């Protein structure tokens, strides 16, 4: 393999005509950790990323509208009883993927999250469990510099977080007050933003969070552990090549069906190809199945695109007499997992409660959508924005065959079929949301909120290429290798067999590191 080091930037460049050991498609939570792990093991790695590489200090404005560039806004057709809002609500584009705009809540899944079928007789058990991922959770929390409490109240016993908790913002303090009145335990959340400056392998010193609250519009300081300031520079330092602005459209195969090259479109519209020995598809739970369906690949099970899930995520908003300024401070502040398995549940699974920090345009959008307020009514409501605070849940969503992604007969600007995603909450999700709304109303009443209103919501794109033990009903095995294509692995939010009652990013990263290790073990 011919590799040349270029002084500016210091990155390896691999000739497209020579087969690299691995091509990684997508550089988000699923792609970036394994990219770094494979490069550190000495493999030649090329990562193809559809979006741009940003310089946060130069390119990230404290301006929600300017930062819309971080979101995947190509049209996705949305259908079903509860059509999911895509675009700004759901996934990102650019080096770092959706971690560019995530809130950085990084709780671990609990052990029983991986055993929904065993525990409740619904959904699917994962073919791996908490014990398989625990060493990766430990390593990730250390590497990313996760801030959190010394003693986390829920889940299996674990050591303290490497950094002390971030300060609670005003919505978190109000939630803490309401929960204390009701005897609901709370804790400062685990958050992958630095409460103190932190030295990171391959990167150097990253600065402490300045609490400006713009995490969902991109962190301009590098305090938030998005992939572009953590695993990507590490991967490049270890010899990986990063190619932004490369949209993958297809694959070349040999007679046995193995992939020999990845085909992609560059920014000037030209078609290029990178020869390779193995492919890691990490394009997220919409674009990964879409690419497979377009290329009629890895779908002997008929499961590609099936079992689309989106966390139950009802939000509750209230107005407080005191000034809240909900944009200030770290937006991912306070958590309670007391509702992980509620004693009075009439549903399977569970959920967690989290405080919400919200920027003004995002909140105005919620009000327009959730309360139907427009024009003068919306303006009048927004005059009280500085007194608004919110709580939301993240809870299990069961996999249903009818919630699926298929290719539509409409084409996008590249001439590729747009994805059509159908989603309807089942009885389980409706009961969970109702249970959560009741508890959150009690919390907000106890905290002194007025004009309380609920905004129904499903969050995150999950499922569509699920992991399992049998090629009859899963797309990838426990190590994320596809059953059908000998040198193709998938690693992103699409491989989750069940949704887990926690925010997904830390578990996606843990699965990513494990996928790399299992691959390296042969």
Ligand X SMILES: Cc1cc2nc3c(=O)[nH]c(=O)nc-3n(C[C@H](O)[C@H](O)[C@H](O)COP(=O)(O)OP(=O)(O)OC[C@H]3O[C@@H](n4cnc5c(N)ncnc54)[C@H](O)[C@@H]3O)c2cc1C
Q: List residues binding ligand SF4 (CB under 6 A).
A: 193, 209-215, 219, 221, 223-224, 330
Q: Does 137 bind ligand X (CB under 6 A)?
A: no
Cβ distance to ligand SF4 smaller for residue 214 or 483: 214
Backbone dihedral angles phi then psi of residue 159, each to the nearest 5 degrees? -80, 175
Whole-angstrom CA distances from 409 to 163, 285, 418, 419, 420 are: 50, 20, 7, 9, 9
The item of ligand SF4, ligand X, none sharing an interface with residue 28, based on CB under 5 to 8 Å by kind, is ligand X
Q: How far is CA 310 from the centre of its chain?
A: 11
Considering CB under 6 A, how many residues would be counted as binding ligand X?
42
List CB contacts of 353: < 8 A, sequence separation 6 or more.
175, 179, 184, 335, 336, 337, 338, 339, 391, 392, 393, 436, 439, 440, 443
CB of 268 to ligand X, least distance (A): 16
Considering beta carbons, is residue 224 or 319 the nearer one to ligand SF4? 224
116 vs 359 by CB, closer to ligand X: 359
Nearer to ligand X, 436 or 459 (CB): 459
Of 27-35, 157-165, 369-377, 468-476, the window that binds ligand X (rule: CB under 6 A) is 27-35
233-239-244-246 Cα dihedral, nearest 10 degrees: -150
Cβ-proximal residues to 280 (8 Å cutoff; 6+ apart), any chain: 22, 23, 24, 25, 31, 34, 35, 489, 490, 491, 515
Q: Which is nearer to ligand SF4, 212 or 418 (CB)?
A: 212
- Structure token pair of residue 97: 């993927």
Binding partner selected for residue 25 from ligand SF4, ligand X, none, CB under the kind-specific 5 to 8 Å limit: ligand X
Q: Restricting to residues 288-347, which ones interact with ligand X according to CB under 6 A?
A: 291, 332
Query: Binding to ligand X by residue 481, rule CB under 6 A?
Result: no
**Binding string, 159-188, against ligand X, x = CB under 6 A?**
------------------------------
Q: Does 510 bind ligand X (CB under 6 A)?
A: no
Closest by CA position to 457, among listed 335, 369, 351: 369
How many Cβ atoms from other residues are within 10 Å of residue 350's Cβ?
A: 23
Q: Shortest distance, CB of residue 375 to ligand X, whole angstroms?
A: 26
In order, the DSSP letters of 8-22 are TTTEEE--TTSPBSE
User: Which partner in ligand SF4, ligand X, none is near 320 (CB below 5 to 8 A by kind)?
Assistant: none
In contact, 481 and 514? CB cutoff 8 Å = no
DSSP class per residue in 444-460: HHHHT-EEEEEE--EEE
- The residue nearest ligand X at its CB is 28
Contacted entry of ligand X, ligand SF4, none for residue 330, CB cut-off 5 to 8 Å set by kind: ligand SF4
- Residue 280: in which H helix or E strand, if any? strand 279-281
CB of 304 to ligand X, least distance (A): 15
Contact partner at residue 51 from ligand SF4, ligand X, none, CB < 5 to 8 Å by partner kind: ligand X
- Whether a cis peptide bond, with omega within 30° of 0, leads into 312 is no
Instruction: Write each residue from 193 to 222 as x if it is in contact with ligand X (CB under 6 A), else as -, in one continuous string.
Output: -----------------------x------
Among 33, 56, 92, 419, binds ligand X (CB under 6 A): 92
The entry of ligand X, ligand SF4, none that residue 426 binds, CB within 5 to 8 Å by partner kind: none
Among 275, 460, 481, 514, binds ligand X (CB under 6 A): 460
CB of 71 to ligand SF4, least distance (A): 16
Please enumerate in sequence order all residues whose Cβ is within 8 A of that of 278, keeping only pairs 6 or more positions apart, or say none.
21, 22, 23, 259, 487, 488, 489, 519
Answer yes or no: are the C-beta atoms of 412 and 77 closer than 8 Å.
Answer: no
Q: Nearer to ligand SF4 by C-beta: 214 or 320?
A: 214
Entry field: residues in the chain:
522
Strands 22-25 and 405-411: unpaired
- Name the β-bridge partners of 481: 489
Q: How far is the CB of 331 from ligand SF4 (least distance, A)?
A: 7
Q: 3-state class of 113 per DSSP?
A: helix
**Minimal distance, residue 444 CB to ligand SF4, in Å:** 24
49 binds ligand X (CB under 6 A): yes
512: closest CA among 2, 101, 22?
Answer: 22
Six-digit token pair at 142? Answer: 């250390």
Q: What is the dihedral of CA 360, 68, 230, 509, to 10 degrees?
A: 90
Taking the least distance from each CB to ligand SF4, the nearer of 221 and 425 is 221
Q: Which of 93, 172, 262, 356 binds ligand X (CB under 6 A)?
A: 93
Residue selected from 105, 143, 317, 496 as contacting ligand X according to rule CB under 6 A: 105
Q: Choose among ligand SF4, ligand X, none what residue 455 binds, the Cβ cut-off being 5 to 8 Å by kind.
A: none
CB-CB neighbours of 384 under 10 Å = 13
- Regarding 103 and contact with ligand X (CB under 6 A), the answer is yes
Task: Name the site residues for ligand X (rule: CB under 6 A).
Answer: 25-31, 48-51, 89-94, 97-99, 101-105, 216, 247-248, 282-285, 287, 291, 332, 460, 492-493, 503-505, 508
């Amino acid at each position: 393999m011919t590799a040349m080091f270029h002084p500016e930037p210091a990155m390896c460049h691999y000739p497209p005509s020579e087969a690299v050991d691995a091509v990684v498609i997508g550089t988000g939570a699923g792609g970036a950790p394994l990219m770094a792990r494979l490069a550190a093991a000495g493999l030649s790695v090329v990562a193809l990323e559809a979006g741009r590489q940003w310089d946060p200090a130069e390119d990230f404005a404290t301006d929600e509208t300017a930062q819309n560039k971080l979101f995947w806004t190509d049209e996705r057709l949305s259908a079903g009883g509860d059509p999911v809002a895509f675009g700004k609500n759901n996934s990102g584009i650019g080096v770092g993927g959706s971690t560019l705009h995530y809130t950085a809540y990084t709780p671990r899944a609990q052990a029983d999250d991986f055993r929904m079928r065993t525990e409740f007789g619904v959904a699917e058990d994962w073919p791996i469990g908490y014990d398989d991922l625990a060493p990766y959770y430990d390593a990730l929390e250390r590497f990313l510099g996760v801030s959190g409490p010394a003693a986390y109240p829920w889940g299996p016993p674990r050591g303290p977080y490497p950094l002390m908790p971030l300060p609670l913002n005003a919505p978190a303090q109000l939630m803490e007050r309401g929960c204390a009145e009701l005897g609901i335990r709370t804790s400062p959340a685990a958050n992958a933003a630095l409460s103190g400056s932190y030295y990171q392998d391959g990167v150097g010193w990253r600065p402490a969070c300045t609490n400006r609250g713009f995490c969902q519009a991109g962190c301009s300081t590098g305090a938030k552990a998005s992939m572009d300031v953590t695993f990507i520079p590490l991967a490049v330092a270890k010899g990986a090549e990063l190619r932004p602005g490369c949209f993958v459209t297809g694959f070349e195969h040999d007679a046995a069906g193995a992939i020999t090259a990845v085909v992609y479109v560059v920014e000037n519209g030209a078609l290029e190809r990178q020869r390779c020995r193995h492919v890691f598809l990490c394009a997220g739970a919409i674009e990964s199945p879409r690419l497979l369906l377009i290329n009629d690949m890895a779908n002997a099970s008929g499961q590609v695109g099936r079992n689309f899930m989106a966390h139950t995520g009802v939000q509750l908003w209230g107005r407080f007499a005191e000034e809240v300024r909900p944009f200030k401070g770290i937006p991912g502040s306070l958590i309670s997992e007391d509702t992980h398995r509620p004693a009075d549940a009439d549903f399977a699974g569970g959920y967690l409660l989290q405080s919400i920090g919200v920027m003004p345009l995002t909140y105005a959008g919620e009000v327009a959508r959730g309360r139907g307020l427009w024009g003068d009514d919306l303006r009048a409501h927004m005059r009280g924005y500085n007194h608004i605070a919110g709580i939301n849940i993240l809870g299990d969503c069961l996999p249903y065959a009818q919630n699926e992604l298929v290719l539509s007969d409409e084409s996008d600007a590249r001439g590729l079929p747009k994805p059509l995603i159908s989603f309807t909450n089942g009885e389980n999700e409706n009961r969970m949301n109702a249970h959560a709304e009741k508890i959150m109303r009690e919390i907000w009443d106890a905290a002194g909120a007025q004009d309380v209103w609920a905004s129904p919501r499903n969050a995150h794109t999950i499922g569509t290429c699920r992991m399992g033990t049998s090629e009859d009903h899963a797309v990838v095995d426990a190590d994320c290798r596809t059953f059908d294509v000998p040198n193709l692995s998938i690693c992103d939010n699409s491989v989750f067999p069940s949704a887990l009652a926690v925010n997904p990013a830390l578990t996606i990263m843990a699965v990513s590191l494990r996928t790399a290790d299992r691959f390296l073990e042969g």
